[in-house]
Amino acid sequence: MDAHDIEWPFMKMHGLGNDFVVLDAREGSVLDAQALDVTASLARALGDRHRGIGFDQLAVITEGAGDAHLTFYNSDGSLSAACGNATRCIARHLMDESGQSALHLTTARGDLFARDAGGGLTSVNMGAPQLEWRDIPLAEEMDTLELPIEGAPTATGMGNPHCTFFVDDAEAIPLETFGPRYEHHPLYPQRTNVQVASLIGPDHLRMRVWERGVGLTLASGSSSCAVAVAAARRGLAGRAVRIDLDGGTLQVDWREDGVWMTGPTMHVASGTLTRQFIEQCMESLA
């Protein structure tokens, strides 16, 4: 690939401050024509908030069995099978582009279905939660409702692993140190997203998130789904809840057909990576 001939358009989006860079590599796009090859190193370069664009996740749109296929990278370059807020943001973009009010998207997590919820809100079905230890996955067989960890957190899989601590006051937990301690816990061989959540009213939770491969984030869609499932399993709330995050509010409803998540999205800007930046990335990857 000749860097002098490359033009890489991108979109910057966020869901409640959980922010993404989106590259559209579907058939006929500029990126597809130039055989875009996203590597962990390139994802890290783009994700650098000082020297790149910066994001919690990078999302790449390609052709799929449904309306599109989505691939997600964390800012540290690692792959993530699921990213709920990015899925909602991209679904909104694709619905606006096509005029459709419902979409079938494919991901490493599986088939996800999105719809226009009205009032500027977008819903996505994140699929059935994974509740068995080997599916999350955990390192050994155990009850996932209360793990043998101080605080007895609940383990949930949403295509990525989650560890949810229910506490009296989510605001009081020093997540900057608490989060990384459990992200790398030996019970989680693939690391884990860490949530602290407190019940602040009937079916109303306050949640804060430490995201694996990212760190502190203002919101996380898959984490919100995991917290809703964990709260229902523990009898703390019903299956339809409001979750207040640092960046705003999501509605989560654990139904028979999966966990539906609804909230606002924002397409912040569209732009093109400069030739200088692309050449520098190519040199570092050579």
57 and 163 both lie in a single domain: no
Q: What is the pLDDT of residue 36?
A: 62
Mean pLDDT over all residues of the chain? 92
Look up the pTM and report it: 0.91
User: What is the count of structural domains for the chain?
Assistant: 2
Q: Which of 238, 170, 235, 153 is nearest to 204 (CA)?
A: 238
192 and 215 both lie in a single domain: yes
Q: How far is CA 237 from CA 14, 173, 203, 230, in A?
A: 28, 21, 5, 9
109 and 185 both lie in a single domain: no
- How far is Cα 216 from Cα 121, in angstroms, rounded to an integer? 24
25 and 50 both lie in a single domain: yes
Query: What confidence tier does 275 reach under pLDDT thresholds 50, 70, 90?
Result: confident
Range of the domain at 203: 154-256
- Tell me, yes or no, whether 120 lies in a domain: yes
- Tell me, yes or no, whether 137 lies in a domain: no
Four-CA torsion 195, 200, 202, 207, nearest 10 degrees: -20
63 and 168 both lie in a single domain: no
115 and 67 both lie in a single domain: yes
The two tokens of residue 276 are 């200088």
94 and 161 both lie in a single domain: no
278 and 251 both lie in a single domain: no
Query: What confidence tier does 5 reach under pLDDT thresholds 50, 70, 90?
Result: low
Q: For residues 181-185, give the mean pLDDT.
A: 97
- Tell me, yes or no, whether 66 lies in a domain: yes
**Which CATH number does the domain housing residue 42 bear?**
3.10.310.10
- How far is Cα 121 from Cα 71, in angstroms, rounded to an integer? 23
29 and 108 both lie in a single domain: yes
- Tell me, yes or no, whether 212 lies in a domain: yes
- Tell me, yes or no, whether 133 lies in a domain: no
Q: What is the pLDDT of residue 1?
A: 44
**pLDDT tens-place string over residues 109-126:** 999 999 999 999 999 999
12 and 105 both lie in a single domain: yes
183 and 205 both lie in a single domain: yes
Q: What is the pLDDT of residue 284?
A: 67
CA angle, corner 254, sides to 92 and 57, nearest 5? Answer: 45
113 and 8 both lie in a single domain: yes
**pLDDT tens-place string over residues 194-233:** 999 999 999 999 999 999 999 999 999 999 999 999 999 9
pLDDT at residue 172 tops 90: yes
Residues comprising the chain, all counted: 286
